[in-house]
Every structure is written in structure tokens, then in C-alpha cells.
């Protein structure tokens, strides 16, 4: 569009373009009409002139004149039709003139803006557009390449994880050292291994597994159990030795087996590990949800769970269990030191935890990541204390917690029992030999080789 052309000029041009065809046709017809009239005049002059005496000539001229007059009448009819059509076109043009002018206003404004911008940039708009297009295409290619490289890297990492499992799921790696929920980490410094006496009376294979993991001098970081996305190393399972204080990694793994086995029986049991349960209002619910949400596929989301087991660590010195019965709406505290002076404080901590979870349950981010704890307020659950099983030493609290979870998972209720010297070895064998342990076959071969070497030696 010419820079000096205005809106009215554009309207005029468009009107001219719309009527151009009809006007051209009209001009042609008018020209032909004028020529026909000129011929008629000449014929009339010739007819009215001197007769040469041949009547046929006069009759021929009259016949031709009649034909021309007939054609002239037809041409006038056509011209009349053309004028009518032209009139209708002009009416239609006038009716739509407002819309056309509105569209033209937009076009003219855009043209003026582009013209001004072009003047300001010194005619470099086209160059800038080309550069921007090239830049966008370049960044798109880089992003696509980055996504492909990232996918390849993730596949490599996953393959490495499967081939060489490392101990990444430990209290030290998921929680700060100053949180109450962290247990004392096992010593991982190289030191002389003190032989653990394996009690007689257990199966030879079970005894061989315990002897291999406890007495063969394996590296403390060597992974021996891998289930779901959780792992246990030699130092973790060493906390199952007699008189040792059981670590949280072993408790988490046993809880995983309880949740897994409950699915097969048609019952849904959830689990919250100690390093989440001990967190209080000082912590950010978004952070908790983002940490625990990705791990929940190892257990189950809390929605529609019949029971939810919560392990709690009290002052890094005692394990106890809190169980939410979502069907009967009962909260039960399982404490193997229920007669101690600190038992009352632990009950209060459990009640405080119920308030915390109740507040979390109102947050959308928690529900989306971890599942819903139901619409019925947890604080209105009936509160009960299980005062049946009491430990007789200072190190079996974790064993009691695990055996309570096993009982709840298998029978739905707990019974009276006393922890014996074989229970630790039984739990270790159950974890290592579980059909979901990805390292089970590797461990079995290593145990048999260790056993044969000892026999030969």
C-alpha cells in the first residue's frame, strides 16, 4: 500500500474493483449500440435515396433494416438489465460500506504502525524477524537435543542402579541430622569384625545367611537387599545382631513387605516411616509432600487404606508404633515400655502427631502426593493404648515394632508374644529371601560359596 494513500482512497479503489467488470461490459455494449445506430442511419439514407429501378435491391435493404432494428431492441433490453444489476451492486456496496470501512481502519492502522516502526528501525524489521525466527528454531533444536540426552542419561542411570545397587535410602540421606526422627547411624569405619554367635536350633540355610552377612567381613556399604526403591547395606542389617538397637532402614523394609503382602490378601495397609512421622508444624508441608510423594509407590497411597502404621522414634532411644484403623476410627499406641515414666510423653507425642496429620490432610498438595486420610477428623478417632507386650531389655523395641506390624499385616490384630533370640535372625532371613528382593539370587550364591569355603577351611 502506498504510504500516502488514506482510508477514503482505499474505499474508492475497492468500489472501483467491484464495479470494474460491469462497467467494462456496459462500455462494450454501448459502443456496439452506437455502431448499430450508425449503420441504421446509413441504411435509412440508402433506402430513402434514388431507386435504380431494381425492386429486389430495395426489398433486400428493407429486410436488413428490420434485422438491425430487432437486434437494436435486444441490445436495449440487455442494457436495461445491466443498469438494474449495477443499481443492485451499488446498493449492496453501500450496505456493507460500514463493515468494509471498519476492516480498512484496522488494516490502515496496522500499515501505519508498521510504517512508523520501519522508519524508526531504519528498514530493519525484515532482518529482525528473520533473526528471531532463526533464533527460535535454534533454541527449539537445542531443547529437543537436551531432552534426548536427558532421556538417555536417565536410562543409563537406571541401568547402573539395577546392576550395582547402592545404599541410598538411609536416614542420613533423607533427613537432617538435628531432627528427632533420625536414629544413630551404624558405624561404618573399617574395624575388626567381632564374630556374632549364631544360636543353634535354626535351619542351616538361615544360619549360613546370618553368618555370611554378620561375620564374613563384607564392606559395610555393600547392598544386600533391594525391594521397591529401598535398599539395605551390610551395616543396616548388622543392626539385627543380638543386643543391637535396630535401625530405621530395616524397619522400613519390613513395613514394605507387610504392605506388599497385604495387597495379595485383598487388604490395604499403609505406612508412614519414622522420619516423616516425627516431623512437626515447624516443617513445610510442601516439602514433606514432595519428599514422601515419590516414595509412596513403594507402599500405597493413604486413600482407602484399612489401616495405616506409623513408626515413631522417641529421642533417638526408643521405637514405638501408632496404628490408625480407618474403618473403625480407632487410634492405637503400641509401646513396649508402656510402664516407663516417659510413656505418657510418648502418648502425648502421638496425639500431637494426629493433629499434624489432620492439618496436612486439608492441604491439596498433601492429598495429591500422599492420598487422603478421609473426611472424618483424625482427632475425633477413639484413642487406645496397647499394654500387652513389654520388653525386658533396652534394645528390643524395634523388634517389637516389626513383629506388631507383621501381626497386623497377617491377622489384622496383635497378640501376646515375647521376643526371642531367634526373631532377629528370622526377620533377617525373611527380608533377604523375600521374592521381591532383587539381590536374592546373588545373595544365595554368595552365602553358599561362603559356607563351602568355611567347610573346606
Same domain for 230 and 107: no
Q: Is residue 103 part of a domain?
A: yes
Task: Report if residue 291 sits inside a domain.
Answer: yes
Grouping H, G, I as helix, E, B as strand and the rest as coil, residue 95 is helix
Asked whether residue 147 is assigned to any structural domain, the reply reads no
Asked whether residue 276 falls in the same domain as residue 175, the answer is: yes
Same domain, 92 and 197: no
Cell of 185: 547411624
Other residues' Cβ atoms within 10 Å of the Cβ of residue 320? 27
Residue (of 386, 435, 432, 436) closest to 407 by Cα position: 386
204 lies in the same domain as 113 = no
Whether residue 329 sits in one domain with residue 234: yes
Where residue 263 falls (left for φ over 0; alpha for ψ -120 to 50; beta otherwise) is alpha
For residue 330, tell me if it sits in a domain: yes
- Tracing cell 516425627 back to the chain, one arrives at 278
Q: Tell me if 160 is assigned to some domain.
A: no
Residue 135 in any domain: the answer is: no
Are residues 230 and 107 located together in one domain of the fold? no
Number of domains in the chain: 2
Query: Does residue 145 lie within any of the structural domains?
Result: no
Residue 105 and residue 205 share a domain? no
- Return the H-helix or E-strand segment holding 311: strand 307-314
CA distance 325 to 330: 5
- Please list the residues that pair with 223 across neighbouring strands: 233
pLDDT per residue of the chain (457 residues) written in tens, 0 to 9: 444 455 555 555 555 555 555 566 566 666 766 666 676 566 556 555 444 444 444 555 556 667 767 767 777 677 666 666 666 666 666 665 555 556 556 655 665 666 666 666 555 556 656 666 676 677 667 766 766 776 676 666 555 544 443 333 333 333 332 333 333 333 444 455 578 888 877 889 999 999 999 998 999 999 999 997 789 999 999 999 999 999 999 999 999 999 888 888 778 898 887 655 555 544 567 777 776 666 666 677 788 899 999 999 888 889 999 999 999 999 999 999 999 988 999 999 889 888 888 888 888 888 888 888 888 988 899 999 998 888 988 899 999 999 999 999 887 666 667 777 789 999 999 999 999 999 999 999 999 999 888 887 6
The pTM score is 0.57
Q: Among 103, 120, 137, identify where a domain stops.
A: 120
pLDDT at 36: 65
Measured CA to CA in angstroms, residue 81 lies from 16, 17, 434 at distances of 20, 20, 98
Identify whether residues 105 and 189 lie together within a single domain. no
Q: Are residues 77 and 204 in the same domain?
A: no
Q: Are residues 206 and 66 in the same domain?
A: no
Confirm if 303 and 375 have CB atoms less than 8 A apart: no
Same domain, 102 and 230: no
**What pLDDT is attached to residue 303?**
85
Residue 350: domain span: 171-456
Q: How many CB atoms lie within 10 A of CB 293?
A: 16
- CATH number for the domain harbouring residue 443: 3.40.395.10
Q: Looking up cell 541401568, which residue turns up?
A: 159
Asked whether residue 191 falls in the same domain as residue 315, the answer is yes
Domain contains 193: yes
Amino acid at each position: 500500500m502506498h504510504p500516502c494513500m488514506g482510508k477514503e482512497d482505499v474505499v474508492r479503489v475497492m468500489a472501483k474493483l467491484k464495479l470494474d467488470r460491469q462497467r467494462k461490459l456496459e462500455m462494450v455494449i454501448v459502443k456496439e449500440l452506437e455502431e448499430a445506430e450508425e449503420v441504421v442511419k446509413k441504411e435509412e439514407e440508402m433506402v430513402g435515396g434514388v431507386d435504380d429501378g431494381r425492386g429486389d435491391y430495395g426489398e433486400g435493404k428493407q429486410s436488413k433494416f428490420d434485422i438491425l432494428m430487432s437486434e437494436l431492441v435486444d441490445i436495449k433490453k440487455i442494457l436495461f438489465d445491466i443498469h438494474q444489476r449495477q443499481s443492485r451492486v451499488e446498493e449492496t456496496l453501500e450496505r456493507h460500506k460500514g463493515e468494509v470501512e471498519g476492516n480498512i481502519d484496522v488494516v490502515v492502522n496496522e500499515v501505519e504502525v508498521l510504517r512508523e516502526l520501519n522508519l524508526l528501525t531504519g528498514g530493519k524489521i525484515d532482518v529482525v524477524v528473520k533473526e528471531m525466527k532463526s533464533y527460535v528454531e535454534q533454541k527449539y533444536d537445542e531443547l529437543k537435543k537436551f531432552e534426548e540426552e536427558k532421556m538417555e542419561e536417565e536410562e543409563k542411570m537406571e541401568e547402573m542402579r539395577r546392576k550395582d545397587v547402592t545404599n541410598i535410602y538411609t536416614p542420613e540421606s533423607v533427613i537432617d541430622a538435628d531432627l528427632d526422627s533420625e536414629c544413630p547411624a551404624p558405624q561404618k569405619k573399617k574395624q575388626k569384625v567381632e564374630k556374632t554367635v549364631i544360636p543353634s536350633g535354626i535351619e542351616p540355610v538361615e544360619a549360613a545367611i546370618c553368618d555370611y552377612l554378620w561375620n564374613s567381613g563384607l564392606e559395610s556399604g555393600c547392598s544386600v537387599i533391594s525391594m521397591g526403591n529401598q535398599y539395605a547395606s551390610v551395616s543396616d542389617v548388622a543392626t539385627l545382631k543380638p543386643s543391637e538397637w535396630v535401625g530405621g532402614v530395616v524397619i522400613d523394609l519390613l513395613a514394605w513387605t507387610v504392605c506388599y503382602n497385604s495387597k495379595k490378601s485383598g487388604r490395604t495397609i499403609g505406612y508412614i516411616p519414622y522420619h516423616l512421622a516425627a516431623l512437626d508444624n515447624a516443617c513445610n508441608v510442601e516439602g514433606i509432600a514432595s519428599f514422601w510423594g515419590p516414595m509412596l509407590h513403594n507402599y500405597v497411597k493413604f486413600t482407602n487404606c484399612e489401616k495405616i502404621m506409623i513408626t515413631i522414634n522417641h529421642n533417638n532411644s526408643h521405637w514405638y508404633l501408632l496404628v490408625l484403623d480407618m474403618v473403625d476410627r480407632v487410634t492405637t499406641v503400641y509401646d513396649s515400655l508402656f510402664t516407663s515414666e516417659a510413656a505418657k510423653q510418648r502418648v502425648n507425642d502421638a496425639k500431637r502427631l494426629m493433629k499434624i496429620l489432620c492439618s496436612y490432610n486439608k492441604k491439596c498438595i498433601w492429598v495429591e502426593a500422599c492420598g487422603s486420610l478421609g473426611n472424618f477428623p483424625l482427632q475425633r478417632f477413639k484413642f487406645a493404648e496397647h499394654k500387652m507386650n513389654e520388653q525386658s531389655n533396652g534394645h528390643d523395641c524395634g523388634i517389637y515394632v516389626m513383629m506388631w506390624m507383621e501381626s497386623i499385616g497377617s491377622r489384622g490384630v496383635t497378640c501376646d508374644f515375647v521376643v526371642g533370640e531367634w526373631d532377629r535372625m528370622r526377620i533377617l532371613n525373611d527380608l533377604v529371601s523375600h521374592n521381591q528382593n532383587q539381590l536374592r539370587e546373588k545373595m544365595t550364591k554368595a552365602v553358599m560359596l561362603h559356607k563351602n569355603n568355611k567347610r573346606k577351611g
